[in-house]
Amino acid sequence: MLAQSAVAYAGLSTLALVVVQLAGVRWQAQMTTGFWLVIAWSLGAFVFALVPLLLAEYSIPVESVISIASLGLAIFVLAVIAAALRRDVRLIKSGATGAARPPVFTMIAMGLISTILALTLVLNAFSLLPGPRQAWYMTSVAALFLFAIVPLVHLLAAVQQKE
């Protein structure tokens, strides 16, 4: 279900790009990072919703599947945050500013929340969290959708400011 939702969300994100173009908003370099984040988080949710099923096909024990998937997802989250930060620093150095760039507070908050999620996943991989490990993992996969909403809303807000 999460994988299907991720594909639908990625499609919705593409429609958002079309809306931005049809609204006559001039595409700016800052928008590329937001669009990239929407797609990265959506496709990450798709892939990591299916990873446990793929690993289980190879008769890997469930506990090992959750450990491997949790570590993989933690690495993915940190990689996306690092790439977004690198992109943003490059934009700032090039002098690109304006409404299309998310507010610094939003970027810091999302980076902090993402880092906490990655830490939680590492703890889950080593069975250091209370409760069922599968629930922690699937909740983390679902959190990727929440991460994708922020840049999507920001892109759509840029269209509203144009009108």
Residue-wise pLDDT tens digits, 14-54: 666 666 666 666 666 667 777 788 888 888 988 898 899 88
Backbone phi, then psi, for 60, in 5-degree steps? -80, 135
Do 137 and 74 form a contact (C-beta atoms < 8 A)? no
Binned at pLDDT 50, 70 and 90, residue 140 comes out as: very high
- pLDDT at res. 108: 83
Q: Rounded to an integer, what distance in angstroms lies between the CA atom of residue 65 and that of residue 63? A: 5
pLDDT tens-place string over residues 54-102: 898 998 998 999 999 999 999 999 999 999 888 878 877 877 655 555 6
Residue type at position 85:
L
Do 76 and 137 form a contact (C-beta atoms < 8 A)? no
| pTM, to two decimals | 0.83
- Give the mean pLDDT of 143-163: 76
- For residue 120, the tally of other CB atoms under 10 A from its CB is 20
Residue type at position 92:
I
Highest mean pLDDT among 27-31, 46-50, 114-118, 152-156 belongs to: 114-118
- Give the mean pLDDT of 138-145: 90
